[in-house]
Structure 1
Amino acid sequence: MSPISQLLRLLLLLLTPMWLSLAVEGLGLHGSLMSGLRRTPQIDSALAPPTGWRERSYLAANPDVVAAIRSGQASSGYAHYVQHGRAEGRTGGFVELGKEPAKAVPPAKAATRPAAAQPAVSQPVASPAPAVPAAPVPAVKPDPRDDAAPAQPVSFQPAARSGTQRPDAQRPEAQRRVERIRTANGGDGLRVVLDLDQDPRYETPVRRPDGRLEVRLPGTLWQAAPSGRLPATALGYRAERDGGGTRLLFSDEDGAGEDDAKGGAVRLLAVSTLAPDKDRGHRLVIDVALPSMAKAERARTAGGR
């Protein structure tokens, strides 16, 4: 063998460790090989800590466990306890009965702890508040009867016309129903009473150019006789369908044809409502004055002179 080949062989033997070291570091195998030599067998840490486990207390009572976690020998304090601490009789992980009361964790700190390490805390059930007795309702004075003194007039209740009627008033179950039309004593003129199954709803009565008095009842169905003349009076009426409600027209049958300028129109005196009372239900009271009534009164006055 020539001296040159021997020199190359010696040089190759001397540089082999350095080449191996460079190859290991280039492939990233040095750290994994060395850590594999130093690392202890893997500890099964997939098991979540049970309720009542105190990770911080266990680490505070066992400083060497902290060092083992930092070096990678243990994944957590509970894993160390399962692997070694329980057999070695280490304390601090669970509350020992009769020695140390459980310390409440402040809410701010409990929110920063990992979800797996927070023990389940049962929320207290709020007791129902004691029932407060309702205040007594003052007694309501009943409304006067139909044949008593004139009913107290109320402010007119404006309601939408048929074109702008509310949807709830157009439904059959929400509509009011006039069950009967009659007369009653009381007032200065002629009192007309409408009996309804619900509280009345009406618009401001108006006098038409032909002398008739028009009363609109929005959201109201007419179930009485559609037209006629009230008994023992000269007042005639006619009920017409008005969109989702009823239009009621009053006229003086004995004064028909008289000039409106001479007082031949039906005149409104008052409109009021009465609440249910004993055997009477909801009522709409309309007081009117008829030209024929004034004419008859003048004739009686002239005859008595």
Structure 2
Amino acid sequence: MTGRGKYQSRLDPALWAYIDSVNAFYPPRISGLPVDKQRAVYARMCRAFHQGRPPGVKASDSLVACPKHDIPVRRYRLAGAAPRATVLYFHGGGFILGGLESHDDICAELCAGTGFDVLSVDYRLAPEHLHPAAFNDALAAFEWAAASSELPLVLCGESAGGNLAAGVAQAARRHPRAAIGQVLIYPDLGGNEAMGSYIEHADAPLLSTGDAAFYRDVRSARKQSPDDPTFSPLRDTDFSGLPPTVIITAECDPLSSDGEVYRDRILDAGGKAWWHEEPRLVHSFLRARTTVPAAAQAFARIIAAVAALGREEWPY
């Protein structure tokens, strides 16, 4: 966590109030704490920001059976709605934090806003489970969802979850039930850390370049190849055949350039992609959606993008 620096006047006071409230949960040098203590802090913060579920949204938990372990999932369904798609949602948290509870209200609001089913995936976390554990769980959840329902699938993920959604989209692009769209929210795609937003916003509030490097390193297996596209989707050599893609990033976030580069790779390969950088917002702005108007508008854009892709429409 960093001081205000050049962001003092660049960010709206309401956003600073959100940033300060997040930072109030975190002790100094939290990355040096044992992971279980980091998770406890994160869980307390998530509970404090939880907005409850919108009326009519019901949730049920189940398990995706795998040969050596089960993957917990939570399905959200809007009462009285006839869903036209299922949204497969991968939560953020740097690959070491989060689960079904941490993003419960966000998934419920996504369900209410689109009328679609939302399936939240509780993938395995590092450092207990190094790469490719989270990716393998994400892909297994996709395959289970594809086999268990006739509804088309839209992939959605934020931060670390955006990495997983993109990895699944690339790995399953030739699957008979391949996703019909993907929406990535300030995703970590393994971009070039020597240029763009990685340099301009290296010390941005709530996520610095150093934070991003910590999360990357903590999930890396020994001799992890940086060119593995299931680890860093931007390291793939083929971006053809991907579903229509919407990427929404925050201007004051070292990861923002990943969205622009990913869009360009898809367009260069003949696909459909749209990238929007939300001005004067920071990483994790989803949790500010009830107190910061710009974050609320960004979340509305995300819901609209998911809804359009689930109807197999391209709105851009």
Same fold by TM (over 0.5)? no
TM value normalised by structure 2: 0.23
State TM-score, norm by structure 1.
0.24
Of structures 1 and 2, the larger Rg is shown by 1
**Structure showing greater relative contact order (alpha-carbon pairs closer than 8 Å, 6 or more residues apart):** 2
